[in-house]
Amino acid sequence: MTTPIIIDCDPGQDDAVAVLTALGSPELDVLAITAVHGNVPLARTAPNARALVEFAGRPEVPVHAGCDRPLRRPAIHAVRIHGESGLRGFEPPPARRPVEAAHAAEFIVETLKASEDVVLAALGPLTNLASAFTWAPEVAKRVKQIVLMGGGRGVGNVTPVAEFNIYVDPEAADIVFRAGAPIVMIGLDTTWQALATPPRLAAWRKKGGKAGQAAAAMYDNPARFDAKRYGEEGLPLHDPCVIAYLLRPDLFDGRHCHVAVETGSPLTLGQTVVDWWGTTGQAANATVLSRVDADGYFRLLTERLARLG
Ligand code: BDR
Ligand code: CA
């Protein structure tokens, strides 16, 4: 039995590691990659996604380009972190095939109309998903599961309380959290436990094949280490947590609870307000993860990256 998934992403260094991990995992049937604006503009994320599937030896996986800006706000990018190309440190050969003609949101809608088994792995701002659910609200309830990297419990990396993917398009995140699909949210408080430390980078290089080498090249960046914040030398590896959760949910702990997204306040814009203790009495709309077994996570990634040869 394989799980059909669509990976919606903004590659992006950690998106790239997530895509490669998924393509190295026989349990997952990657139906398509849908690209969204985010770490770098869509004009980069879509070709990057194509370059990644071809690098992985899976050129038949279609890539659909989606929204090039948030629903109601100007685009914000993270070029300082991911580089102008989005894949700083790794230069895959340029894509040979073009992206598909259909818009990402259209592909998501049509795929969900045809099947109730599809998992959406959301690794960037949620504009493509929100557009799909706005265009065809009935498909949200047909999603098997949305597993998303975004938000956090009381922490942020753009503001003290807002994480990049949610902050960039809070209106889209709000639509997705209200849409009625089963959601698993993996926020910063969890992904900050998943540090690509120097010994883990060495393991990628030694045992992870060409994809492990590529991942290590993107993450070997001591200038960005922040041991005070993360407790250890290394960089948090956010997005592959989504793929790891689909493969090995036992590596994670979490709790079913209500999540709301702040779309109004300038002070807390983009905060995911997680009702961890059930204070509001509102019905749960997400499983919010809070812990990852980081050693198990990195062992899994190394093994899956290695399968790409
Ligand atoms: C998230 O923002 C992006 O920079 C990363 O790709 C990840 O999806 C972390 O806040
Ligand atoms: Ca991302």
At 159, which amino acid appears? T
Query: Which of 165, 224, 271 has most ligand 1 atoms within 8 Å of CB, for mutation?
Result: 165
Look at residue 222 in the predicted model and tell me its pLDDT. Answer: 87
The pTM of the full predicted model, rounded to 2 decimals, is: 0.98
Q: Is the confidence at residue 229, as pLDDT, over 90?
A: no
Please write the tens of the pLDDT for every residue from 22-72: 999 999 999 999 999 999 999 999 999 999 999 999 999 999 999 999 999
Ramachandran class of 231: left when φ > 0, alpha when ψ lies in -120 to 50, beta otherwise:
left
Average pLDDT score over the chain: 97
Sign of CA dihedral 299, 304, 308, 309: positive
Is the pLDDT assigned to residue 223 strictly greater than 90?
A: no
Which pLDDT band, with edges at 50, 70 and 90, does 221 fall under? confident
Q: What percent of the chain has pLDDT over 70?
A: 100
Half-sphere exposure of 29 (CA within 13 A, CB side): 7
Instruction: Write the pLDDT tens digit of every residue in 296-307.
Output: 999 999 999 999
Closest-lying ligand 1 atom to the alpha carbon of residue 149: 8
Atom of ligand 1 nearest to the CA of 236: 9
Alpha carbon 144 to its chain centroid, in Å, reads: 17
Is 238 a known active-site residue? yes
Q: What is the mean pLDDT of residues 176-192?
A: 98
**Distance, CA of 203 to CA of 121 (rounded, Å):** 26
SS3 65: strand
Q: Which residues surround ligand 2, an ion (CB under 5 A)?
A: 10, 12, 15, 123-124, 239
Is 106:134 a contact under the CB 8 Å cutoff?
no
Q: Is the CB of 123 under 6 A from ligand 1?
A: yes
As its CATH architecture, domain 3-306 has Alpha-Beta Complex (3.90)
